Structure 1
């Protein structure tokens, strides 16, 4: 079971384990906003609700630019594991402007690509091949990308809080 953590201003920060959420609540560093009905957690003589969403007692300052690091896994996830050129299942990534021609390792220059298209394209640009990108490669945005851990197994009770981050 995982728990969504909100900053004191109600903006979503991250997703933590149930155990970490309970430690924050028991140490009065957070309060439970949403919880699982029934089945409390007993600690000594106290009963605590099982947290689904907690809010921190003190505001945690976050950097204004939460730029996501570029990773192979992130590029594939952003492009839904679909080739940017043919639309088939993608397992590799491709530099739109090849590295040998000055193409960098950035969200704007990397796309998901199937092995066949990657081999055919080789060290050329899509324009030289006469190919079109199906989607413009942009940095990912939205709550699942901003809130660390929210991409897998989202609880429906988190949705009203994650909508604030989008």
Structure 2
């Protein structure tokens, strides 16, 4: 079981384990605002609802520039696992400007690509091939990228994630 953690201002911070959320609630550092339907948990002095969404009692300052690291998995997810050249299912990553020509490992230079297109393109640019990109690669944005663990979200989290989008 996982729990969405909201800052005191109700912006999503992270997804944590159910046990960690329960510790925050028991230590009065957080309050349960969405409960799980299962039976409550009985402690020595009280019973506690199983938390699905909690809000912190004190505001936590979050760094303003949360840089999203470039990863193979992230590029594939950003491009919806579709080839940027032909639109078929993608399983590899392509450097739009090849590394041999100074292309960087950045969100703007990496794109999801099928194995066939990646092999045909080889060490050339899309312009040299006469190919057009189906979308312009950009760094991802939104709560699905800044809040870790949200990619497999719970339906009860949607109202809180929609506020931050």
Name the counterpart of 1:156. 155
Moved more, 20-29 or 31-40: 31-40
Which structure 1 residue ranges, 4+ long, deviate > 3 Å from structure 2?
Answer: none
Segments of structure 2 that go 5 or more residues without pairing to the other structure are none
User: Quick one: structure 1 residues 130 and 60, their matched pair in 2 at CA, closer, same or farther if it must change by over 3 Å?
Assistant: same
1:73 aligns with 2:73: yes
Change (3 A) 1:156 1:67: same
Aligned residues: 165
Structure 1 residue 45: deviation in Å? 2.8
SS in 1 for 2:88: coil
In the alignment, the residues of structure 2 paired with residue 103 and residue 59 of structure 1 have an alpha-carbon distance, to the nearest angstrom, of 41
Offset of residue 36 of structure 1: 2.0
Q: Under a length normalisation based on structure 1, what TM-score does the superposition of the two structures give?
A: 0.96
**Distance in 1 between residues matched to 2:77 and 2:157, nearest whole Å:** 21
- 1:141 aligns with 141
Deviations 1:58-113 (A, max 9, x none): 11111101110000000011111111111111111000011111111110100001
Rounded to whole Å, the distance in 2 between the matches of 1:57 and 1:151 is 25
Q: Return the alpha-carbon distance in structure 2 between the equivalents of residues 101 and 73 of structure 1.
A: 24
Q: Higher strand proportion, which one?
A: 1
Match status 1:122 vs 2:84: no
Task: Give how far 1:38 is off.
Answer: 5.6
TM-score for the superposition, normalised by structure 2:
0.96
Give the structure 2 partner of residue 111 of structure 1. 111
Two-structure CA RMSD over aligned residues (Å): 1.0
State the match for 2:87 in structure 1: 87
Residue 59 of structure 2 is matched in structure 1 by 59
DSSP-derived class of the 1:144 partner? helix
Unaligned runs of 5+ in 1: none
- 2:150 match: secondary structure: coil
* 1:18–1:51 CA contact under 8 A, matched in 2: yes
